[in-house]
A and B are shown apart, each in its own frame.
Chain A
Amino acid sequence: MSKDFDVNKIRQDFPILDRTINGNKLAYLDNASSSQKPREVIQCLVDYYENYNSNVHRGVHTLSMEATDLYETARTKVANFIGAKEPNTIVWTRGTTEAINLVAFSWGFENIGAGDAIVVSQMEHHSNLVTWQLVATRQKAELRVVPLTDNQTLDMEALADSIDEKVKLVSICHASNSVGSINPVKEIARKAHAVGAKILVDGAQSVPHMPIDVADLDCDFLTFSGHKMLAPMGIGVLYAKQEILESMEPFMRGGDMVLEVWNDKATWNSIPNKFEAGTPNVADAIGLGAAIDYLTDIGMDNIRAHEIELTDYALQKFKQFEELDVYGPTDTSIRGGIIPFHSEFVHPHDIGTILDRSGIAIRTGHHCTMPLMRSLGISATARASFYIYNTIEEIDRLVDAIDHTLKYFSTAKK
């Protein structure tokens, strides 16, 4: 990690970290769910609404031109951030879920038919599972779910077996929101392409946390959400290869996505506008651009290194809890900053409530991965997840609070 990485300096950029919760300093460890926002991003929104607010595209007045310029500059920032050569391969969406649905409805229903197959994994978020259930059911295609190994990494042998000539799409998360495993998507892309299939990479848990290069990964689609990477809620991204976007029909119809309209027909605007019907979320797109500036300034390599340090430390500390099952690989080179744990004796909700009394925010539940929970033989986990502003001291507080919780329940119940 670069010596310039100073977590205490970074923390000063996040006003919410000054809050106290139930009389304790906030330790925000729910980043896989949503991240906090630095002052730069918050101020960017204020600045936009105070100085530039206007509808984009087609306006001839100054504000509209300035707003359009900011909005399209943000698109270019996103393209540069993920290694996409052309900004027109970046489609704004509300988030990852909408981006996956866009691919399903526009590309999936056109390109997946009866007898074809779609490959997903057992660690998918519901958004990357339920969506393909719909396509498979309606198109009479087969949905293949690749199982996981004993430490919740993708079973690569089973994956190789499941990718054959029938497969039209492999849709897989880059990093799991629930168990933290990082999948070798570059290798998976090669396997998919070898049989003529496309690959969609759900980057919701990877793009915020590590350097991403779509050209290197050679993925056909990449989806991610702004709110998990310091940006406002309600803005997300679909990246797709240019020729694929060109070939796809629009997802939604309305203003801005058309070129010419008659009473009985219409022609489509060029990409990416073809997929952006209606007034877009201009302010939050610009906010995502500001978040990318902030992340780029710190450096994605530094962010990844910081999270590996936190995760290694947490995994080491968690070894003291014999009564806890901690899921996911122990090798942090293939693991994101996510620590999911489960106790047979204390339900995750009870852990979450008690930790909240100490000001520690974690998430408890199935994390939108019910089939994964079922495969682990549990209904829920407690999950701590890290980001750029988290500290070793916060992990110590987490560990102390878990220790207290486990002791409380073991003694109180006797």
Chain B
Amino acid sequence: MHNLYHEEILKHAKSPEFTSKIKNVNASGHAVNQFCGDEVTVDLSFSAGLINDVHISSTGCSINIASSSLMAGEIKHLDPTQASTLINAYKSLMNSKPFESNDKNKIGSLEVMESVKAFPIRIKCALLGTQAVEDAISRLTI
């Protein structure tokens, strides 16, 4: 089980970060896993073109909650293009080849999610937060 539930995943599942409501929300996104009903809602606040604050609320399994929490930390201080690049890199790594050392630089702390790849049915849990962030960015009006 330690293979799947990396210590960092369990830590973020128990105490997810970026769960406090934020002010000046510029974009909100939402994603639902139709198989299990798990949900993620995200609010983004921008300043000078950068994401300066994130609120992410996930209900569901530990993989979903931990990946959402880590994702929030990674996109903070990025501009929407940089956030999309990071998200695409993460999605591509989760869906295809094994991680290589230089890939890990692209996704930062999300590298711990690599352990989920050995459990293909759970990969969608690791990508639900990503979908919510993508949804928020797509609704961005500023």
User: Which residues of A are at the interface with B, using a C-beta cutoff of 8 A?
Assistant: 346-350, 353-354, 357, 364-366, 370, 373, 379-380, 408-409, 412-413
B78: interface (CB < 8 Å) = no
Least CB separation from A370: chain B residue = B37
Contact A380 to B38, CB < 8 A, known contacts A350-B62, A413-B11, A413-B14: yes
Q: Provide the bound-state CA to CA distance between A349 and B128, in Å.
A: 14
Interfacial chain A residues near B59, Cβ < 8 Å: 379
**Are B10 and A347 in contact, CB atoms less than 8 angstroms apart?**
no
B60: Cβ under 8 A from any A Cβ: yes
Interface residues on B, range: 20 to 34
Contact B122 A349 (CB under 8 A): yes
**Which residues of chain B come closer than 8 Å to A373, judged between CB atoms?**
37
Closest to B122 in A: A353
In the complex, besides A347-B64, A366-B36, 6 extra interface pairs with C-beta distance below 8 angstroms are: A346-B62, A347-B38, A349-B61, A349-B125, A350-B63, A379-B60
CA distance A353 to B61 in the complex (A): 11
Which A residues are in CB contact (< 8 Å) with B60? 347, 349, 379-380
**Listed A/B pairs (19) with beta-carbon separation below 8 Å:** A347-B38, A348-B61, A349-B38, A349-B61, A349-B63, A349-B122, A350-B5, A353-B4, A353-B122, A354-B1, A364-B36, A365-B37, A379-B59, A380-B36, A380-B37, A408-B5, A412-B10, A413-B10, A413-B11
The 9 A-B pairs of least Cβ separation, nearest first, read: A347-B61, A349-B61, A413-B14, A379-B37, A365-B36, A366-B37, A412-B10, A380-B36, A350-B61
Q: Given the known A-B contacts A347-B62, A353-B119, A413-B10, are A379 and B36 also in contact in the complex, defined by CB atoms under 8 Å? A: yes
Interface bits B105-116 vs A (CB < 8 Å: 1, else 0):
000000000000
Flag B1-40 by CB within 8 Å of A: 1 or 0 each. Answer: 1001101001101100000000000000000000111110
Asked whether, in the complex, the Cβ of A412 is within 8 Å of the Cβ of B5, the reply is: yes
**Interface residues, chain B, with chain A CB atoms under 8 Å away:** 1, 4-5, 7, 10-11, 13-14, 35-39, 59-64, 119, 121-122, 125
Which of the listed residues A348, A349, A364 has the most CB atoms from chain B within 10 Å of its own CB? A349
Contacts of A380 in B (CB 8 A): 36-38, 60
Question: CA of A223 to CA of B38 in the docked complex: distance in angstroms?
Answer: 30
Bound CA–CA A167/B59 (angstroms): 38
* Chain A residues in 8 Å Cβ range of B11: 413
Give Cα A346–Cα B125 distance, bound, in whole angstroms. 15
CA distance A353 to B62 in the complex (A): 11
Residues of B within 8 A of A409 (CB): 10, 62
Which A residues touch B5, using CB under 8 A? 350, 408, 412
Residues on B with C-beta less than 8 A from A408 are 1, 5
Tell me how far the C-beta of B96 lies from the nearest C-beta in chain A, rounded to whole angstroms: 22
Per the bound structure, the CA–CA distance linking A136 and B5 in Å amounts to 46
Closest B residue to A414 using CB positions: B14
Q: Give A348 to B14 CA distance when docked, in angstroms.
A: 15
Q: Which residues of B contact A347 (CB under 8 A)?
A: 38, 60-62, 64
